[in-house]
Every structure is written in structure tokens, then in C-alpha cells.
């Protein structure tokens, strides 16, 4: 038996043959010091960037050291997760470029937090905005603020600091909170679509159907669902044995990037993640599309052109935000593992993490007369107070 890994249709990079109740692996000499693929007893080939020795012995898990160091073996039954910290590579090793990135990302982070914070403040201060629609918008802004704060401050520190490490517990916590807020936002978009559906299809019964009690229960349900499923995702990822490389090719602890460092087969964990991703992406998207199909039918029955345009305008903001959030997130978490690209994933993750959080207040404030009116009212009161 043998494990063969081919790259781009070229000749194999690694051959593994069974000998003496174990596996003997030989790396491609031309790739030594650049890429290693090791054969695990219960899985396929595992990529480890920056390492060059390989092999497997039956009943043990291989711990790969660098070329100069030895290859260590750990017998079954011992604690296998001895990695105490991870190293986040980030975007660049060039100090000058990192300083430029620091300024750009700092402005992006401050704009996101201040923009979403302004929306929350305006909705809380203006009693005319105390409606279910703006309550949900306030919750969305709160989610975005937490979402971007989970990753951006640490990334800003790493851009200027010499050390780019994060503790195992810190990585665990960051992955859990980031995933929890992301999954919560996925389901919360369904609640916002339902709000628009009731407002347009049943305008006379809007306040009767969407009572404050129902709004609170819907919001609490989305948060509970997101944090519970995130707990499953994080537990399955961090319970894996991390006994070798600890360099994460990302700017934060995202599940797929960290999981690629595990020194055992992750097929079952990947399957569970796929189930969660499909459940949290396909099902909400289907409900959102169903809601907007009914909304489109109701809008087309509106006779005055002005009323039809207003209805379309209120839905356009929500659809814009949903598209920019779901498109990159769907690509990251539901694509095949064979198409995994670290550099591309970092850019896509940055978009749906940071840029979407900045986009939400811009879309909802620039297209919403009530938000702009509340802002002008607050500014006018400030001038009068001065």
C-alpha cells in the first residue's frame, strides 16, 4: 500500500510504503525544506509547511521537528496536545509594510466601531426609532462591533510587535467568540428578513405580529443558536492533538487554518464543520430568499410608484448587507478542502470580518432618512446646548 500526493498533475511529492507494521515515507528531495506530506494511520496526506523529514510508526503519532532537529515519537495514551501557543503569521514580514497596514487597519477598525456605535446611540436616543426594525438594526450593529473587535485589535498589535504569538487558551477563546458572533449574524439576517416581510406584506398588523416580546425572543434565540453551535465547532477543533508545527498562516485563529496543524486525521471534524456550515448558510439563505420572493410579489401589487420605490429601498439595504456577508463566508466554510489557499483566505476573511462591519452603518445610514433625521436632530440639540 502507498500514499501518493500529487500537486497540479505533476509527479508525486511523497511516497509511503508499509514496512515492519509501520509506514516508511520518502519526501521529494527537490522540495526538501519547503513542503512535507506525512501519512497518518487513519487518514490521508497532511501538509506541513517549512518541514522536511517524514515517517510514521504504527501505534504512535509523529512529531516533526525542523531539518536540524530529530524526529520524535509519542506513544499512545499520553497527552498529545502540548502546543502551548500559536504563531500568527499575519500579512507580511516587512516592518515598513506592516506599519502602513497598521495605519490602514486602524482607520478601518475605528470607522467600523464608531459607525456602528453611532447607529446604536441614535436609535437609543430617538424615540421615533423605537420600532422592531430599528431594534434589529441596533442588534446588528452590536454584533458587528463585537465581530470586528474580536480580531482587529490583536492584529494591530501583531503588526507592530516583534512577537506574534497567541496562547492556546487565547486562540480557543478568539475562535469561539468569532465563530459565535458570525453564526449569530447568519441567523439574525433571517429575523431581519422576516421583519421586512411582515412590514410589507402585512403593514396593518405589523405592530400586532412583531411585539416586543417576540422581537426579544427571536433575538435571544439567534444568539443562543450561534453560541451553542460555535461551542461544538471550537471544541471539535481544539480537542485535536497539536503536537508539532504551531505556525498559523492567518491573522487570527480561524478554524480551518488552525485545524490544518493538527497531527492526526481531521476528516470527521471537517465533516461536522461542513454540516454546521450548510445548516447555518443554506437554511438561512433559503428562508431569506423565500421571504424576499413574497416581498417582491407584494411590492409589485402596490399601485403608486412612490410607494413601490420606498418598499424596494427599505429592502435593498438589507439585501446588500446579506450579499456581502454571505458570499465570502460561504466560500470559506463550504468549499472543498482541495481548494484551500492561505493567502486568499486571509483576504476574504478580512473582507467579511472588517469591511462588512464598516459597510453596514454606511448602507443603513446613507439610504435611511430616519437615521439621517435622527443624526441631524442630535446635532441640532448639541448646537443649541452650546
Report pLDDT digits (tens) over 57-93: 333 333 333 323 333 333 344 444 467 888 888 888 8
Q: Note the pLDDT tens digit of each residue in 366-386.
A: 667 888 888 888 777 655 444
* Mean pLDDT, the chain, integer: 75
Instruction: Give 257's strand partners.
Output: none
Label residues 41-66 b or e (16+ Cβ within 10 Å = b).
eeeebbebeebbbbbbbeeebbbbee
Task: Give the per-residue pLDDT at 250.
Answer: 87
For 130, the grid coordinates are: 423605537
DSSP letter at 71? P
pTM equals 0.74
Task: Report d(CA 200, CA 53) in Å as an integer.
Answer: 64
| Residue pLDDT, tens place only, 172-200 | 999 999 999 999 999 999 999 999 899 88
Amino acid at each position: 500500500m502507498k500514499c501518493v500526493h500529487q500537486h497540479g498533475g505533476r509527479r508525486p511529492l511523497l511516497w509511503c510504503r508499509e514496512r515492519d507494521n509501520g509506514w516508511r515515507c520518502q519526501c521529494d528531495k527537490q522540495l526538501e525544506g519547503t513542503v512535507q506530506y506525512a501519512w497518518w494511520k487513519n487518514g490521508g496526506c497532511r501538509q506541513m509547511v517549512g518541514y522536511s523529514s517524514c515517517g510514521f510508526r504504527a501505534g504512535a503519532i509523529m512529531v516533526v521537528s525542523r531539518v536540524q532537529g530529530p524526529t520524535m515519537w509519542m506513544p499512545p495514551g499520553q497527552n498529545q496536545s502540548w502546543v502551548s501557543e500559536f504563531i500568527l503569521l499575519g500579512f507580511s514580514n516587512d516592518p515598513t509594510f506592516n506599519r502602513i497596514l497598521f495605519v490602514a487597519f486602524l482607520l478601518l477598525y475605528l470607522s467600523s466601531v464608531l459607525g456602528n456605535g453611532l447607529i446604536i446611540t441614535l436609535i437609543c436616543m430617538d424615540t421615533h426609532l423605537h420600532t422592531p426594525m430599528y431594534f434589529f438594526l441596533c442588534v446588528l450593529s452590536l454584533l458587528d462591533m463585537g465581530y470586528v473587535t474580536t480580531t482587529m485589535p490583536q492584529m494591530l498589535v501583531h503588526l507592530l510587535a516583534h512577537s506574534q504569538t497567541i496562547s492556546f487558551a487565547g486562540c480557543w477563546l478568539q475562535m469561539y467568540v468569532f465563530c459565535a458572533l458570525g453564526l449569530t449574524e447568519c441567523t439574525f439576517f433571517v429575523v431581519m428578513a422576516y421583519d421586512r416581510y411582515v412590514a410589507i406584506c402585512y403593514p396593518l398588523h405589523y405592530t400586532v405580529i412583531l411585539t416586543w416580546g417576540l422581537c426579544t425572543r427571536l433575538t435571544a434565540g439567534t444568539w443562543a443558536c450561534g453560541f451553542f453551535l460555535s461551542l461544538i465547532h471550537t471544541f471539535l477543533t481544539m480537542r485535536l492533538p497539536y503536537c508539532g508545527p504551531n505556525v498559523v498562516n492567518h491573522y487570527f485563529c480561524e478554524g480551518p487554518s488552525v485545524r490544518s496543524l493538527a497531527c492526526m486525521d481531521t476528516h470527521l471534524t471537517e465533516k461536522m464543520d461542513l454540516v454546521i456550515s450548510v445548516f447555518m448558510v443554506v437554511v438561512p439563505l433559503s428562508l431569506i430568499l423565500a421571504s424576499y420572493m413574497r416581498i417582491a410579489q407584494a411590492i409589485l401589487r402596490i399601485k403608486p410608484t412612490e410607494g413601490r420605490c420606498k418598499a424596494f429601498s427599505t429592502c435593498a439595504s438589507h439585501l446588500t448587507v446579506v450579499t456581502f456577508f454571505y458570499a465570502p463566508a460561504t466560500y470559506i466554510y463550504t468549499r472543498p478542502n482541495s481548494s484551500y489557499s492561505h493567502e486568499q483566505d486571509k483576504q476574504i476573511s478580512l473582507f467579511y470580518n472588517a469591511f462588512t462591519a464598516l459597510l453596514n452603518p454606511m448602507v443603513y445610514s446613507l439610504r435611511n432618512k430616519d437615521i439621517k433625521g435622527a443624526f441631524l436632530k442630535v446635532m441640532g440639540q448639541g448646537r443649541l446646548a452650546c
